Amino acid sequence: MSTPEQVRAAIREFVDRAHAALDESDYYRVLGVSSAAGAEEIRTAYYRLAARLHPDIHGDSVEPEFRLRLTTVFSRVVEAYKALSDPRRRAEYDEGLAQGMLRLTAGLKVRPRPDQGIRDESARRFYQLAEKAMADGDGRAALVNLRIALSSEPDSPILKAALARAEEMAARR
Amino acid sequence: MLGNVEPVIGIDLGTTNSVVATLRENRVEVIPDDRGNRLHPSVVGFTPAGEVVVGHAARARRHVDPRNTIYSAKRLIGQSIRNPTVRLAMSTLPYQCEEGPNEQPLITVRGRRYTVPEISSFVLAHLKRCAERHLGAPVSRAVITVPANFTDAQRQATKHAGELAGLKVLRILNEPTAAALAYGFGRALDARLAIYDLGGGTFDVTVLQIRDKIFEVLSTGGDSFLGGDDFDRTLVDRLAGEFMMRERIDLRDNPEAWSRLGTACEQIKCKLSQEEVVAGTIHDLAVGPGGRPLQLDFEVTRAELESLIEPYVERSVQACQEVLVAAGFTASVLSDLILVGGSTRTPLVRRKVAEYFGRAPQTRINPDETVAYGAALQAAALVSGGLDPARFYSLLLDVCPRGLGIAVAGGYNETIIEKNTPVPVERTRRFTTSKDQQTEVQIQVSQGEARLFADNERLGVLVLQGLPPRPRGETVIEVTFVIDGDGILNVRARDQISNQETRATMQVVGAPTRDDEGGAPPSLAGSGGLLPSAL
């Protein structure tokens, strides 16, 4: 039998390792299950991890710095569990994972169409072209389209925001 | 084993009554007041002598001194006074309540103004004293329960009330979850439960799964303004209407009479849970011609009450449907149905809920005490932790009952944390500045699932300050939104370029400002556009 102190030390080591590897881990690895795992196996893995990583398990004596890391790791476990325990989301996740997307963050819901706030017809068209360019990672093409759009609706906060994003993207390339 | 450790308590801070309990020698004890009462009215009375009385002593003053006897504070706590449902609740309260700084309701009693958390802190301090006397030891730590659908602001205000009462609040716990902890205590279960919790002023429904001391909440929902008080109000309206017809006097104009009518209706409602017809007289409601006291003779049948309250009960059943769908269940896979809250004694409620879930509710736990019971268990679990199997009581995997979102361009709401996500949870978003040399940005934060930001419940403003002045778009701030185990939002922010922590503060609507309890109120003025960068 291991003592609570030994358990605590082992969990700390685990949390530190997991925290460092979070950005390279897919959800299956986060939960420690194979990509063929069934619903029951996924739930069991989640419960096992929760019983080790949930901040409540550690009482209120842990130092704040460790608690932050614990919350980050537990939060990712939850994210993985939520994605893999819902068949529709899991299918969506697997599809993205095949293309190297480790996390299922955006796109869980139908996203609002921000262009509805743009009044001018032509500005809206160029804005859509710019968004498409940004989705393709082409910040410079997005900039060109947004400047045209802004010439017909210079005060639009949506266009200004998009411009800021496009500039950021273009600068990184 | 816990002999030398300071006891911890669980508190069910109710709209009408509160209950306090503790776990001692592996048994939960409900703590009585000095007269042996296990239910403590959530009423605070301010006597002419300048004394503050709480509980039964205060409730006795409700009719003698309605303007200086404060009850139902839970209906106001942590809310903007401009909230239409708050205004409706206020219309039936005989005490003086008006708008203070930051849209919060302030209560004036005997020439002094109190914030709502201050009023609740009197109740909590009373419960703390009861516990200390009963246990013969100081008590400084507690778990306090709130309805699952309480907002961030309501949770914070409740926690604040606990602190004002001299308690370290170990956890703000959801009431239906507390009931589940009580139900599962000391039993090896592998079960799926639905908890239907209809109190005086709020309604919650929660679906959860229990296995090996792990309690996983799958989904939760409800209505923060639905409860037994609505049942009372339908009766009050009916009887006040009758009095108006007969005597041409509007009882609303007289707080004393209105308060007495309210209590009478509550009693009629309760009696109708046992009897088919209730008849009687309410005396001294007004003064008629020649100084003659006017009374109201009434007769109400259960069928009549049921037709009045049916729309409310239907609304609650609707919410059950939504919660089951969110849990991915149908009613047939549930192992048990738990009813909590005094209003579930109403026969129509029991009938409709049993009908919807297709099963009779379990009866092994006391609906009045079960929430405090669960709170006491959670308090014990939190102080002992879970690493020592001998002292592992339970692990609760609760969820955030509402989605968290921010305002984005076009007036839309972007969801940051989805409803029913297990807590604690954190999500990170990146924001950029939209103006040159911008050093401060403000982000509007809301709770709710509506697509349009304005359709959600406004939580407050997140302010990021002290940003290094740079050309627009160059500053990228990584903001981490954390919903902690209390269901309360915490925010931290980091400047990606300098890797420095940035000052991030949430200004919550309806919260007491420092000034009201000593200090300066935060300013909500000023602006600075802030828009989410590409994901």
- Residues B487, B523 share a domain: yes
Residue with tokens 């005989």: B94
Contact between B224 and B335 under an 8 Å Cβ cutoff? The reply is no
How does residue B526 score in pLDDT terms, banded at 50, 70 and 90?
Answer: very low
Q: How far apart are CA A156 and CA B410, in angstroms?
A: 10
B321 shares a domain with B298: no
CB proximity list for A96: less than 8 A, separation 6 or greater: A104
- Identify whether residues B90 and B218 lie together within a single domain: yes
The tokens for B51 are 């004394």
* Residue B340 C-alpha, separation from nearest chain A C-alpha, in angstroms: 25
Mutation for B interface: A46, A52, A54, A173, most B CBs within 10 A: A54
Q: Is residue B114 part of a domain?
A: yes
| Least confidently predicted of A67-81, B475-489, B500-514 | B500-514
Count the neighbouring beta carbons within 10 Å of the beta carbon of residue B361.
Answer: 18
Q: Say whether A86 and B328 touch across the interface (CB within 8 A).
A: yes
Residue among B171, B189, B397, B474 with most chain A CBs within 10 A, to mutate: B397
* Under-50 pLDDT residues of chain A: 107-113
In angstroms, rounded to a whole number, what is the distance separating the alpha carbons of residues B523 and A130?
Answer: 38
Residue with tokens 């259960």: B302
Domain boundary among B252, B286, B307: B307
| Residue B253 designated active-site | no
Q: pLDDT (tens digit, 9 = 90+) per residue, B217-253?
A: 999 998 877 889 899 999 999 999 999 999 999 998 8
Q: Is A41 on the interface with B (CB under 8 A)?
A: no
CA nearest to B493, candidates B473, B518, B466, B515 = B466
Indicate the residue among B307, B331, B360 that finishes a domain: B307
CB contact, 8 Å: B491 with chain A?
Answer: no
Residue type, B310: E
Report the number of distinct structural domains present in chain B. Answer: 3
Which is nearest to B227 in space by CA: B299, B361, B319, B160? B319
Instruction: For residues B74-99, give the mean pLDDT.
Output: 87
Q: Is residue B243 part of a domain?
A: yes
User: Do B11 and B127 meet the contact criterion of CB atoms below 8 Å apart?
Assistant: yes
> B99 and B69 in one domain?
yes
**What is the value of pTM for the model shown?**
0.83
Give the tens place of pLDDT for each residue, B371-392: 999 999 999 999 988 777 777 7
User: Structural domain of residue B483, as residue ranges?
Assistant: 404-532
Are B474 and B341 in a shared domain?
no
Contact at CB, B410 and A86, closer than 8 angstroms: no
Locate the chain A residue with the closest alpha carbon to B213: A51
- Interface probe for A, chosen from B387, B394, B453 (most Cβ of A below 10 Å), is B387
Query: Measured between CB atoms, does A78 come within 8 Å of chain B?
Result: yes
Contact (Cβ atoms closer than 8 angstroms) between residue B248 and residue B278: no
Q: Is there a contact between B128 and B142 (Cβ–Cβ < 8 Å)?
A: yes
Same domain, B214 and B272: no
What is the maximum span of chain A, computed from C-alpha positions, in angstroms?
Answer: 73
- Subunit contact A51:B395, Cβ cutoff 8 A: yes
Q: Which of B397, B430, B455 is the last residue of a domain?
A: B397
* Domain CATH for B115: 3.30.420.40
Residues B364 and B502 in one domain: no
Q: How far apart are alpha carbons B307 and B311 in whole angstroms?
A: 8
User: Residue B386: its chain A contacts at CB < 8 A?
Assistant: 51, 54, 56-58
| B12 annotated active-site | yes
Indicate if B211 and B342 belong to the same structural domain.
yes
Structure tokens at B366: 């006391």
Q: Helix, strand, or coil here: B408? A: strand
The confidence score (pLDDT) of residue B483 equals: 92
Nearest in space to B453 (alpha carbons), one of B408, B392, B500:
B408
Say yes or no to pLDDT of B518 above 70. Answer: no
| Residue B1 belongs to a domain | no
> Could you tell me whether strands B44-46 and B69-70 are parallel, antiparallel, or unpaired per DSSP bridges?
antiparallel
- Identify whether B3 is part of a domain: no
Q: Where are the domains of chain A?
A: 4-98, 114-172
Residues B177 and B214 in one domain: yes
What ipTM, to 2 d.p.?
Answer: 0.83
The answer to whether B68 touches B108, Cβ cutoff 8 Å, is no
Of B54-58, B248-252, B442-446, which one has max mean pLDDT? B54-58
B418 at A interface, C-beta within 8 A: yes
For residue B179, is it within any domain?
Answer: yes
Whether residue B69 sits in one domain with residue B211: yes
Question: Chain B contacts of A75, Cβ < 8 Å?
Answer: 424-427
Q: Are B28 and B50 in contact (CB under 8 A)?
A: no
B76 and B127 together in one domain:
yes
- B12 vs B372: CA distance, rounded Å: 5
Asked whether residue B337 falls in the same domain as residue B460, the answer is no
CATH code of the domain made up of A4-98:
1.10.287.110
CA distance B45 to B467: 49
Residue B237 a catalytic site member: no
DSSP secondary structure letter of residue B522: P
Read off the CATH number of the domain in which B258 is found.
Answer: 3.90.640.10
